[in-house]
Amino acid sequence: MKQTEYQCGRCGSSLDFEECPNCDDGYVGHDCGEDCCCCADPEDNVVCDICRGIGAFPRCISSKEWCEANPLPGREKTPRSTPEAFTVPRRTRA
């Protein structure tokens, strides 16, 4: 079985994900399109305009100076903290 991990697309360092302070899991409220909501159990469906529904912000764990000075080959124009996904095999017990 494989596990998805993320790294900084510019320098290859690990990423940390910081929770968005504006929302709860990417949503900021409920809007059913009615002037007076009569939903029995309204679920949040309005996407946060700050994190665009992701609920978190990726942050490169390396300093800004190091990341900017040490891009991976061909990644000189990639912005810092751009998430890049890769898969790794999960460890199994021996």
Q: pTM for the complete prediction? A: 0.66
**CA–CA distance, 42 with 14 (Å, rounded to integer):** 37
What does the pLDDT look like over 35-83, one tens digit per residue?
Answer: 777 777 777 778 898 888 889 989 999 999 999 999 999 999 999 999 9
Domain ranges of the chain: 2-89
Residue pair 48/55 in contact by the 8 Å Cβ criterion = yes
